[in-house]
Amino acid sequence: MIELPRGMHKKVSKAFDIWGIEELYPPQIDSLEPIANNENLVVAVPTAAGKSIIAYIAIMNKVFRRGKALYVVPLRALASEKFEELKELSQLGIRVALSYGDYDEDDRRLESYDVVVATSEKADSLLRHRSKWLQDLQVIVADEVHLMNDVGRGPTLEVILTRFKQLNPDAQLICLSATIGNSAEIAGWLDARLILSDFRPVSLKEGVVQGNEVTLDDMGHIEFKNRTGNTLTDAVLDGILDSYDGAGQVLIFVNTRRSAESSAEEMAKVLAGHLSEDDLRELRTISGSVGRSDAKVIQKLKRSIAGGVSFHHAGLSNEQRKIVESAFKNRRIKALFATPTLAAGINLPARRVIVRDHTRFESWNPRAPIPILEIKQMFGRAGRPKYDKEGESWILARKPEEVDVLLERYVWGKPEEVLSKLGSRPALRMHLLSSFATNYVRDMDEMWEFIRSTFYAYQNDTWKISTDVEELVEFLDEEGFLNREGDNVEATDLGKRVARLYIDPLSAVVIRDTLLSEKNKVTTFSILHTICHTTDVHPLFVRRKDSDYVTKYMYAHEDELLIPIPEDDTEYEWYLSSVKTAMFLMEWIGENDESVEAGEDRIETLFNLGPGDVRNKVETAVWILYAMRELSRLYNTGMTAEIDKVSLRVEHGIREELIPMIQVRGVGRIRARRFFEAGYNSLDKVRKATISELASVKGIGRHLAIQIKNSIDPDGEHTIEEEPETPQEEDIKQSRLFDFNG
């Protein structure tokens, strides 16, 4: 029986029964008293030491008193994981919602929930829309708070915490972090109690592997069999085949997707020969569940899984990643090659972790050392609670002389301090505008008061960014986002709209100037290139071998470009990247030489994009097209209808002639194309067709034909019969990424 302190709601203990928790870890016990006393907390403990349970206890303690909670995470995958865990509390009457994306809405449905799990960008968006229920929050959890150190996500997380301190000073803040060098400083900024511990439920042995020998953190040595002559392969096989109970798993971190894929394929060829026929049979079933696809990345994934190995990176679709994660958690997949993003994401531990690469490509250094904090995050994935007595984390040394260097830096070294990144001009530009546009600040004095409340100011003197702030406020004033008279500042209609659209003001300038420019010829490519030239759309890198191809395309469509081709070399590189990104979207919607929507294999060959990449690019493009539409309405340019049509096509990846069919429930780009090829080029023709006629279309079948008839003719009497799927229906079961809606 877990004893709760006075002041803690007694119902909290019922959740322990749901989760099967019989005793708490030391950091969790240390957190109970301050949670009960409504103190802010910064919890800095290793991975797998139970940080999430501390947050859940704080949430329940407030929710059982009819309070509301917000759980903020950096990644969508992590948001989904936390949502699934918290959803188990529905047995206790706690209602949990998941929210991300849709930045241009206040999401009023969230008012009726007790706990909202959201990404940091969504939380920032809700703050910008002044969602009223945010004032009712009694506890706010910020997961992975050390990511304030990240140039991309850090400023948004920092601003969220600063805003909540202003908006809701009585709300309890629970900030969760990996072990970092200055956790006490973060706690001081937040006026929080620091829970600092090196406790792990599974002890961890760290070391450096070179040849077939591991030098451990205590300078002890262990050796493993030389089976293949390749250090990494032998270390992985040792972790799987020579584990004390035969249930070992190995997680290998590499620095590129290509390495993850090729290494997984090679490892699968070796491992398959050591697996039983029963194992291989189950693995073939899992491999088959990935779906049919001609894309090389999916074929590699299927082959790897069939051999007991897999890879995990952002190029896979959500569905494919879930298949891999589930198979690894169920211990069917024995070895998983992953890029470092997994280390900061979902909970996917293994008995042994091997970090193959300790450098990565950066624009300023092709072999930039990976920070100690990130390596420690990878190390922390070793050791599966309930399964392992001990976790092992090894980093690979290529040469004997690297062993001491890696021991000194990554095994014995201390993680770096978290430094605020709010001082970067792009971050300041966005958050200055949102501050004025949402009336969190109304003049320069209040603006400086806000800045003095940030972690940046806690670490630095604000005068260091005073010049940047003044210049950016002047930029926002000159571009029409703000009206400034002396120290009084007020957001214009443009400024308010851009802040709520959640786009960079610089992106808005590009779109606005293009909309208002003199246009000789506006095409689909014109619109797509405009959005791809904004700072919010991360452009595709133009490889040396692609340069001529992209340049030729650009000049062939020069009369459609609404933004002039620049002469400056640096600007030209960015411009060429934006052209390539627009070319990808043109392929995606079938505006190509073949006049048909590009499939997975073609997209991968031309642009080196996997299913997950395509989805991310498409979602971002639809978001910026929506912003372009809203700015078009604001300036009454007459382009709104055309932008809407392009947006619909990009969302579904279709040529214009498929627009009627894409509106039918259950019909995506592939089925729409098949209907069109069968002569159904309008909803009226589908409405007049018999069920048998629709069922004869390739990949449809009777069951789906009845659903389609019910969708477009709800007053008809079309009965759905229970019957096995036909071979045609099986044929449509391919990778869902490229056919979002079936």
- Ordered DSSP codes for 23-36: S--HHHHHHHHHHH
**Residue 131 to residue 515: CA distance in whole angstroms:** 31
Residue 735: pLDDT above 60?
A: no
Q: What is the rounded (10 degree) CA torsion for 343, 349, 354, 355?
A: 0
Close Cβ partners of 572 (under 8 Å, ≥ 6 residues apart): 565, 566
Residue 24: pLDDT above 60?
A: yes
Q: What is the pLDDT of residue 304?
A: 97
In which band, very low, low, confident or very high, does the pLDDT at 728 lie, cut at 50, 70 and 90? very low
Q: What is the pLDDT of residue 367?
A: 87
Q: For the beta carbon of residue 195, count every other beta carbon within 10 angstroms.
A: 24
Q: What is the pLDDT of residue 109?
A: 85
Q: What is the pLDDT of residue 178?
A: 83
In which band, very low, low, confident or very high, does the pLDDT at 726 lie, cut at 50, 70 and 90? very low
Q: Tell me the CA distances in angstroms from 347 to 17, 49, 51, 341, one per residue in order.
A: 21, 12, 12, 12
The per-residue pLDDT for range 268-283, each reduced to its tens digit, is 999 999 999 999 999 9
Residue 607: pLDDT above 90?
A: yes
Tell me the mean pLDDT in the region 84-91: 91
In which band, very low, low, confident or very high, does the pLDDT at 387 lie, cut at 50, 70 and 90? confident
Q: What is the pLDDT of residue 722?
A: 40
Pairing relationship of beta strands 96-99 and 40-44 according to DSSP bridges: unpaired
Contact by Cβ (8 Å): 197, 234: no
Q: What is the pLDDT of residue 737?
A: 43
Fold (topology level) of 657-738: DNA polymerase; domain 1 (1.10.150)
Q: What is the pLDDT of residue 462?
A: 85
Residue 207: pLDDT above 80?
A: yes
Please provide the CATH number assigned to the domain covering 505-653. 1.10.3380.30
236-260 exposure pattern, b = at least 16 Cβ within 10 A, e = fewer: bbbbbbebeeeebbbbbbbbebebb
Residue 593: pLDDT above 80?
A: yes
Say what percent of the chain tops pLDDT 70.
95
| Chain centroid, CA 637 distance in Å | 34
Q: What are phi and psi of 504, to 5 degrees?
A: -65, 130
Residue 537: pLDDT above 70?
A: yes
Pick from 219-223, 452-456, 484-488, 617-621: least confident:
484-488
Region of 144 (left: φ > 0; alpha: ψ -120 to 50; beta: rest) is: left
Residue 160: pLDDT above 70?
A: yes
Q: Do domains 12-196 and 505-653 have the same CATH topology?
A: no
Tell me the mean pLDDT in the region 485-503: 93
Q: What is the pLDDT of residue 558?
A: 94
Nearest-CA neighbor of 622 among 104, 80, 76, 122? 104
For 475-512, the DSSP string reads HHHHTTSEEEETTEEEE-HHHHHHHHHT--HHHHHHHH
Angle at 663 between CA 660 and CA 666, to 5 degrees: 125
Q: What is the pLDDT of residue 103?
A: 64
| Chain centroid, CA 635 distance in Å | 33
**Domain 12-196 CATH assignment equals 3.40.50.920:** no
Say what percent of the chain tops pLDDT 90.
69
What is 203-409's CATH superfamily? P-loop containing nucleotide triphosphate hydrolases (3.40.50.300)
Tell me the mean pLDDT in the region 37-66: 93
For 173-224, the DSSP string reads EEEEE---TTHHHHHHHTTEEEEE----SSEEEEEEEETTEEEETTS-EEE-
Tell me the mean pLDDT in the region 424-447: 93
Q: What is the pLDDT of residue 342?
A: 73
The label of the residue with tokens 């411009």 reads: 575
The per-residue pLDDT for range 254-270, each reduced to its tens digit, is 999 999 999 999 999 99
The label of the residue with tokens 């002039």 reads: 564
**Residue 58 to residue 45: CA distance in whole angstroms:** 17
Tell me the mean pLDDT in the region 579-601: 93
Q: What is the pLDDT of residue 741?
A: 42
Q: What is the pLDDT of residue 725?
A: 44
Tell me the mean pLDDT in the region 389-413: 95
Nearest-CA neighbor of 145 among 116, 173, 164, 115? 173
Greater model confidence, 129 or 534: 534
Close Cβ partners of 655 (under 8 Å, ≥ 6 residues apart): 589, 590, 591, 595, 596, 597, 649
Residue 449: pLDDT above 50?
A: yes
In which band, very low, low, confident or very high, does the pLDDT at 727 lie, cut at 50, 70 and 90? very low
Q: What are phi and psi of 317, to 5 degrees?
A: -75, 165
Residue 724: pLDDT above 60?
A: no
Tell me the mean pLDDT in the region 460-466: 87
Pick from 455-459, 557-561, 678-682: least confident:
678-682
Pairing relationship of beta strands 488-491 and 482-485 according to DSSP bridges: antiparallel
Nearest-CA neighbor of 655 among 585, 740, 724? 585
In which band, very low, low, confident or very high, does the pLDDT at 163 lie, cut at 50, 70 and 90? very high
Amino acid 23 reads E
In which band, very low, low, confident or very high, does the pLDDT at 195 lie, cut at 50, 70 and 90? very high
**Domain 427-501 CATH assignment equals 1.10.10.10:** yes
Greater model confidence, 346 or 403: 403
Give the mean pLDDT of the chain. Answer: 90
The label of the residue with tokens 């979002």 reads: 740
Residue 431: pLDDT above 60?
A: yes
Q: What is the pLDDT of residue 734?
A: 32
pTM for the structure as a whole:
0.89
Angle at 164 between CA 163 and CA 167, to 5 degrees: 85
Q: What is the pLDDT of residue 533?
A: 97
How is the chain split into domains, by residue range? Answer: 12-196, 203-409, 427-501, 505-653, 657-738
